[in-house]
Amino acid sequence: MYTPSYAKPQVLSVSQLNFYIKSLIDNDPRLTTVFLEGEISNFTCHSRSGHLYFSLKDQKAVVRAVMFAGNARRLPFMPENGMKIICHGRVTVYEPSGQYQIIIEDMQPQGVGALALAYEQLKRELAAKGLFDQAHKKPIPRFPDTVGVVTSPTGAAIRDIRNVIGRRYPRARIILCPVLVQGEGAAPQLVNAVEQLGQNRLCDVMIVGRGGGSMEDLWAFNSRELAYAIYRCPVPVISAVGHETDFTICDFVSDLRAPTPSAAAELAVPDTAEVTAHLIAKLRAAGASVDRRRNSAFNRVASDGNRAYDAVVRQRLEPTMAQCSAQVLRLRSAAVQLAHETEKRLVAAQSKLQELDPDLILNRGYAMVEKDDQPVNTASALEQGDFVTLRFSDGVKHATIGE
């Protein structure tokens, strides 16, 4: 804006000057995309808008910077003071203060990956809030009826889990809650699955996991929302994400971490064969213990009880023995009386038998007539010529009946 020496100088307002300088900077193609490195200081995150305000500095200079909420939400980590970053954005002027600044569109931490930094930041945050404390860990039930599984329905993880549970504890029922395990939308699905299984008490223990992969593949299991969902879950959760060397936030907040999905299944259910063998061993040990205690009790009774045995027996049996003695006396008296009465009846019966004894009748001069070994009572029973036997007291004679 050149003014000749002979012309009257133009007087500008402050806002006009700032607007003019802003237009110069905004239209400079070299300043529309600038890559910059520096250290963050004076960092502020506006709680209502979500905009990030800070300064970038090196050893000699400082520049103001702002990152608006739309771009800030895409950052996997949270910037903080002292962090060295590489960013790109455009240079502009904030007209009200006349201060130039860089509007940052993206940034990366210098010297460490953004995901690794975000992971460490979230881990420190949740640990400080107590989400990883051992006091909050719930015990895994010994004999679960139902095992909930939150994983992909098509991955190797669910096949491994089903195979292990079917082999070790086939009576357990498996409820699969199918979800995405990586990519956009995976984290919200994981959160919803954990909440549904837990809040509705659909299982006794829950396995959350997937097979191995890169840090980017496993990133859904580093979700802050998933960590809180597992922390609040009333059902015990076993984390089984990736391989043995892979660690996620899910591993730290869960009640138990398994190195693989197969190992999670082994931790979730007992081995029926091992349980059976253990019970048999326990029963045998219990039987042996009972035998030992019984023998010990018998020995104590034999050694300690003998001294008091006679006194105790007498004390407890004397009333009964007195009753028995009285009863014996009564029975003996009754038996003697019964014997006398029986003897009287026998004498009377013997007297009657003697009266009826045919030998006594024959001794008085009578004879008994028999025909065909049968007694004859009437004369009409005999006919002329019948052969009869005459039985006397001192013998028999035979005769034939005449006219």
Extents of the domains making up the chain = 14-111, 130-273, 308-356, 360-400
At residue 201, the pLDDT reads 93
Q: For the domain 14-111, what is the CATH code?
A: 2.40.50.140
pLDDT tens, residue order, the chain (403 aa): 555 555 677 888 888 888 888 888 888 888 988 888 888 889 999 888 899 999 998 888 999 999 999 999 888 888 888 888 888 899 999 888 889 999 999 888 876 677 778 888 888 889 999 999 999 999 999 999 999 999 999 989 999 999 999 999 999 999 999 999 998 899 999 999 999 999 999 999 999 999 888 888 889 999 999 999 999 999 999 999 988 788 899 999 999 999 999 999 999 999 988 888 888 888 888 777 777 887 777 777 666 656 665 666 567 767 777 787 787 778 777 777 877 787 787 777 667 766 666 666 667 777 778 888 788 788 777 777 778 787 877 788 788 887 6
Threshold 0.75, pTM exceeds: no
pLDDT of residue 221: 94
Instruction: Note whether 391 and 361 are within 8 A (CB).
Output: no
**Burial per residue of 365-383, b for 16 or more beta-carbon CB atoms within 10 angstroms, e otherwise:** eeebbeeeeeebeeeeeee
Q: What is the pLDDT of residue 1?
A: 53
Q: What per-residue confidence (pLDDT) applies to 331?
A: 77
What pLDDT was estimated at residue 274? 86
Domain 14-111 and domain 130-273 have a common topology = no
CATH for 130-273, among 3.40.50.300, 3.40.50.261, 1.20.1070.10, 3.30.1330.10?
Answer: 3.40.50.261
pLDDT at position 403, please?
67
How far apart (Å, rounded) are the C-alpha atoms in residues 44 and 313? 94
